[in-house]
Structure 1
């Protein structure tokens, strides 16, 4: 049982350490980038919605996230919350 807990903790730490959702990567984002270019920097979006030609995507969760809006396939607006 102890080994299972240790292994689970190690996997969780490894995955958290590999996250691309960092302030350093967020600061590399620039208006005009495509969604694919953004995803190359911060990983795949968790969710995206499209309304009236504006694609709104979110990476992360409520506690720590990046939100971005794309118009005509290009990044026009972005925000970050609680990144490190």
Structure 2
């Protein structure tokens, strides 16, 4: 049963990495607004008020934040 829950969570993450969700992103969105669209990021890194977060693996959405506001966003293979 635990494996099914993990698989469901992973499937939910992947389904949010789509052209439709990418098209909802906009410059100056807050990090909370981005997470409302994409869910929690798979990875984030950064320092000094600048962060880069990635949702997905081979197919992914990458968002750059300055002071928790979107400054850029890109995608790969959507």
Q: Which runs of no fewer than 5 residues in structure 1 stay unpaired?
A: 1-7
For 1:3-82, what aligned pairs fall within 5 Å after superposition?
Answer: 15=11, 19-61=15-57, 63-82=58-77
Aligned to 1:3: none
Please give the root-mean-square deviation of Cα atoms over the aligned residues, in Å: 2.0
Specify the SS of the correspondent of 1:75.
strand
Aligned length: 70
**Structure 1 residue ranges, 4+ long, deviating more than 3 angstroms after superposition:** none
For normalisation by structure 2, the TM-score amounts to: 0.78
Query: In 2, are the aligned partners of 1:21 and 1:43 still within 8 Å (CA)?
Result: no
Q: Which runs of 5+ in 2 are unaligned?
A: none
